[in-house]
C-alpha cells in the first residue's frame, strides 16, 4: 500500500478533483482491537484430541485476533457476485474447498455481509453470528481431521453500509466500485479465511449490468453476455492472500499485451476520469512491463503468470498491490512511475512472500519503498548510501520519527511513515553492512522462499547468507525507539 496525496499539477486537468484524504487506519485498527477484547476468545481446539472440537475464531495474529480462522486451510475460492451500482447492493455465493487441520465440530468464516444460507458438502448447515465479522458454521456431521470439504455461503447486502471495528473499507459511487483495502477487504465481498497465512487460488465471477466491465486478479477467462447482465470470469492461478484479491466494476478502457518476455498484461483505466487523467493514467499503466523488467534485475523472475494495473476514478487516497494487478487512484502520468515501482515491488515483497503476522508489515513496505527510492535516483543523491546518510542526518535524533519500533509498531500504526522510510533505510543499511553481493543474494533467496515470512525468518536468513551476527544491527533498526547510532555495525559508517 502507498498513500497518495494529490499534489498540484503543472498542467491543470479539465475537471478538478478533490484532494485525496488518507484513511483513518489508526483509529480503525484501534477500534478493532477494542472490539475484539470486548468479545473475548472462543475456545481453541485441543491439540491432538480425537473428539471433534470447534475451530478457533481467529488465526492467532497478535494484532488482529479475529482475522482468519483456525482448524482448516482453504485451497480454492469460487466467488460469484452480482453487483448493482445504482443501489450499492451485492448478491453472491462463495464456495470454497478446504482441508481440515483438526476434527471439526464447527468452524468460522469471515464475512460482514448478511448471510442467507450455508451448506457444507452439499448439506444445509446451521450458522450464527458471533459478531459482525464472524459467521459460525456447524456442519450436520463433524468434519474429520485432514478431510477435504466444500463450504457454500450465500449472502446479500450493501457492503458500503457496513463497518466493522470502526473500518468501512468499501469504495463505491453510483458509477464505479473497487474492492481494495489492507489489512481488511475480503470480508466485505466474499466468505473468506481472511489472514495472509491462508493463501488460495481464486475464480471470481462478477455479474454487472450489460455494457459495464468487471476487472479482477489474474486472467480473464470468459465474458458471458445475457440480455440484461454480463458475467466477467477471472482466474488467479497462483495462491493469494485474501486481502490481495480485488474486483472493480464500472466502465473501463481495457488494454492487453505481452512483455518482451511473453508475460501477458492487462490494464484497465476508468472511463469516469476526465480525458486528461485518462490519458495520463493510460501512459502510467503502460510503464508496467518496463518496471517489471527493472525489478527482475534486482529480485529475479516475476513470480506470477500475468500482470497489469487498474486506475479507478474513485478517491481511494492510496494505491494497493493487489496480486497480479495493483489498483491505483488517478495520480498523473509517467512522472508517477515510482508508484508503479512500489506496487509492483510488492508482487515479490508482500504478495509472493506475505507477512506471517501483521506485525511484520515493515517487510512489505520497507523493501517496496527502498526499490522505489533506487528507481527514483536515490532521492537526488549520488549513491544509495549517500541517500541513507543524508536522510539519517536530516531527521533529528529527538524526532518522533525514530520513536516507532517498526519491527513491532502496534496494530494502529501499520502504515505510519517510519514503516516505509525507516524500513527503506534499514534495507540500505543492511546492504552497506553485508555488501552488495550478499544483499542481492538475500533478496533473491527471500522472494523464492516460503509463502509467508516473519521478521525473525528474515533476520535469520540475512545472518545465514552473510555469515554475520546481525542481532545488534536489527535490534537498532527495528526494535529500538531511537535513532540508530552512526556506527559501522549499524551500516552507517
**Binding interface with Zn ion (CB under 5 A):** 1-2, 365, 368
To Zn ion, the closest distance from the beta carbon of 2 in angstroms equals: 5
Residue 98: count other Cβ atoms within 10 Å of its Cβ. Answer: 26
Rounded Cα distance, 409 and 429, in Å: 20
> Smallest distance from the beta carbon of 346 to Zn ion, in angstroms?
6
- Per DSSP, 133 falls in state T
Residue 113's contacts (CB-CB under 8 Å, 6 or more residues apart) are 90, 155, 156, 157, 159, 162, 188, 189
The Cα 349–Cα 363 span in angstroms is: 7
CB of 221 to Zn ion, least distance (A): 29
Nearer to Zn ion, 1 or 434 (CB): 1
Q: How far is the CB of 401 from Zn ion (least distance, A)?
A: 18
Distance CA 162, CA 95 (A): 22
Pick 42 or 327: Cβ nearer Zn ion: 327
H/E stretch holding 462: helix 455-466
Whichever of 71 and 242 has its CB closer to Zn ion, that residue is: 242
CB of 107 or CB of 318, closer to Zn ion: 318
Shortest separation between residue 243's beta carbon and Zn ion, angstroms: 12
* Closer of 328 and 392 to Zn ion (Cβ): 328
Would you say 212 or 363 has its CB closer to Zn ion?
363
CB of 295 to Zn ion, least distance (A): 14
Report d(CA 372, CA 472) in Å as an integer: 27
Measured CA distances, 263 to 86, 234, 281, 293, 307 (Å):
36, 17, 21, 11, 7
Question: Between 250 and 418, whose beta carbon lies closer to Zn ion?
Answer: 418
Q: If you count them, how many residues does the chain have?
A: 493
Q: Cβ atoms within 10 A of the Cβ of 88, count?
A: 17
Shorter beta-carbon distance to Zn ion: residue 118 or 447: 447
293-331 exposure pattern, b = at least 16 Cβ within 10 A, e = fewer: ebbeebbeebbbebbbbbbbbbebbbbbbbbbbbbbbbb
Taking the complex as a whole, the smallest distance from the CB of residue 362 to Zn ion amounts, in Å, to 11
Minimum CB separation from Zn ion for residue 300, in Å?
Answer: 20
* Class of residue 441 by CB neighbours under 10 A (exposed 0-12, middle 13-18, buried 19+): middle
Question: Which is nearer to Zn ion, 351 or 365 (by Cβ)?
Answer: 365
Nearest approach, Cβ of 342 to Zn ion (angstroms)? 6
Query: Smallest distance from the beta carbon of 143 to Zn ion, in angstroms?
Result: 37
Residue number of the CB atom closest to Zn ion: 1
Nearer to Zn ion, 1 or 240 (CB): 1
Starting at the edge strand that comes first in sequence, how are the strands of the sheet with 247-250 ordered?
Answer: 171-172, 177-178, 247-250, 213-216
| Cis peptide bond upstream of 183, omega within 30 | yes
Residue closer to Zn ion by CB (options 359, 433) is 359
CB of 223 to Zn ion, least distance (A): 31
Shortest separation between residue 348's beta carbon and Zn ion, angstroms? 12
Cβ of residue 347: shortest distance to Zn ion, in angstroms? Answer: 11
Do residues 99 and 146 make contact, with C-beta atoms less than 8 angstroms apart? Answer: yes
DSSP state of 358: G
* Separation between Cα atoms, residue 76 and residue 199, nearest integer Å: 9
- Please tell me the distance from the alpha carbon of residue 153 to that of residue 145, in angstroms, as a whole number: 22
Select 178 or 368, whichever has its Cβ closest to Zn ion: 368
Please state, as a whole number, how many other Cβ atoms lie within 10 Å of the Cβ of residue 161: 10
Short-list 299, 351, 305, 362, CA closest to 327: 351
Nearest residue to 175 via CA among 143, 144, 209: 209
Sign of CA dihedral 237, 242, 243, 248: positive
**Closer residue to Zn ion in complex, CB, 152/359:** 359
Amino acid at each position: 500500500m502507498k498513500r497518495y496525496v494529490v499534489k498540484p499539477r503543472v498542467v491543470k486537468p479539465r475537471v478538478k478533483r478533490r484532494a485525496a484524504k488518507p484513511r483513518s487506519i489508526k483509529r480503525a485498527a484501534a477500534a478493532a482491537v477494542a472490539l475484539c477484547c470486548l468479545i473475548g476468545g472462543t475456545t481453541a481446539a485441543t491439540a491432538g484430541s480425537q473428539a471433534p472440537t470447534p475451530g478457533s475464531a481467529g488465526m492467532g495474529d497478535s494484532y488482529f485476533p479475529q482475522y482468519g480462522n483456525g482448524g482448516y486451510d482453504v485451497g480454492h475460492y469460487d466467488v460469484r457476485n452480482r453487483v448493482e451500482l445504482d443501489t450499492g447492493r451485492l448478491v453472491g455465493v462463495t464456495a470454497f474447498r478446504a482441508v481440515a487441520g483438526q476434527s471439526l465440530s464447527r468452524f468460522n468464516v469471515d464475512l460482514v455481509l448478511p448471510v442467507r444460507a450455508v451448506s457444507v458438502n452439499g448439506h444445509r448447515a446451521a450458522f450464527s453470528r458471533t459478531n459482525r465479522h464472524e459467521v459460525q458454521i456447524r456442519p450436520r456431521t463433524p468434519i474429520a481431521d485432514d478431510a477435504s470439504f466444500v463450504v457454500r455461503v450465500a449472502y446479500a447486502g450493501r457492503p458500503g453500509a457496513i463497518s466493522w471495528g470502526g473500518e468501512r473499507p468499501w469504495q463505491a459511487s453510483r458509477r464505479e466500485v473497487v474492492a481494495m483495502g489492507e489489512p481488511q477487504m475480503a470480508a466485505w465481498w466474499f466468505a473468506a479465511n481472511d489472514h495472509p497465512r491462508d493463501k488460495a487460488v481464486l475464480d471470481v465471477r462478477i455479474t454487472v449490468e450489460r455494457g459495464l466491465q468487471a476487472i479482477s486478479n489474474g486472467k480473464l477467462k470468459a465474458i458471458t453476455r445475457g440480455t440484461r447482465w454480463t458475467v466477467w470470469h477471472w482466474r488467479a492461478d497462483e495462491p493469494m492472500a485474501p486481502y490481495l484479491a480485488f474486483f472493480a466494476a464500472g466502465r473501463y478502457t481495457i488494454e492487453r499485451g505481452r512483455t518482451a518476455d511473453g508475460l501477458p498484461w492487462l490494464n484497465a483505466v476508468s472511463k469516469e476520469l476526465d480525458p486528461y487523467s485518462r490519458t495520463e493514467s493510460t501512459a502510467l499503466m503502460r510503464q508496467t512491463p518496463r518496471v517489471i523488467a527493472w525489478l527482475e534485475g534486482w529480485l529475479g523472475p516475476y513470480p506470477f503468470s500475468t500482470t497489469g494495473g487498474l486506475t479507478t476514478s474513485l478517491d481511494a487516497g492510496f494505491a494497493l498491490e493487489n496480486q497480479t494487478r495493483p489498483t491505483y487512484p488517478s495520480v498523473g502520468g509517467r512522472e508517477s512511475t515510482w508508484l508503479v515501482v512500489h506496487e509492483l515491488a510488492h508482487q515479490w515483497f508482500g504478495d509472493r512472500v506475505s507477512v506471517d503476522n501483521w506485525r511484520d508489515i515493515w517487510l512489505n513496505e520497507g523493501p517496496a519503498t527502498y526499490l522505489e527510492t533506487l528507481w527514483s535516483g536515490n532521492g537526488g543523491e549520488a549513491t544509495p548510501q549517500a541517500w541513507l546518510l543524508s536522510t539519517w542526518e536530516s531527521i533529528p535524533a529527538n524526532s518522533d520519527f525514530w520513536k516507532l519500533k517498526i519491527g513491532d509498531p502496534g496494530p494502529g500504526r501499520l502504515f505510519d511513515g517510519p514503516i516505509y522510510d525507516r524500513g527503506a533505510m534499514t534495507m540500505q543499511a543492511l546492504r552497506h553492512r553485508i555488501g552488495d553481493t550478499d544483499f542481492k543474494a538475500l533478496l533473491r533467496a527471500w522472494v523464492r522462499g516460503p509463502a509467508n515470512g516473519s521478521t525473525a525468518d528474515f533476520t535469520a536468513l540475512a545472518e545465514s547468507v552473510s555469515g554475520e551476527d546481525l542481532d545488534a544491527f536489527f535490534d537498532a533498526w527495528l526494535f529500538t525507539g531511537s535513532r540508530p547510532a552512526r556506527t559501522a555495525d549499524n551500516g552507517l559508517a
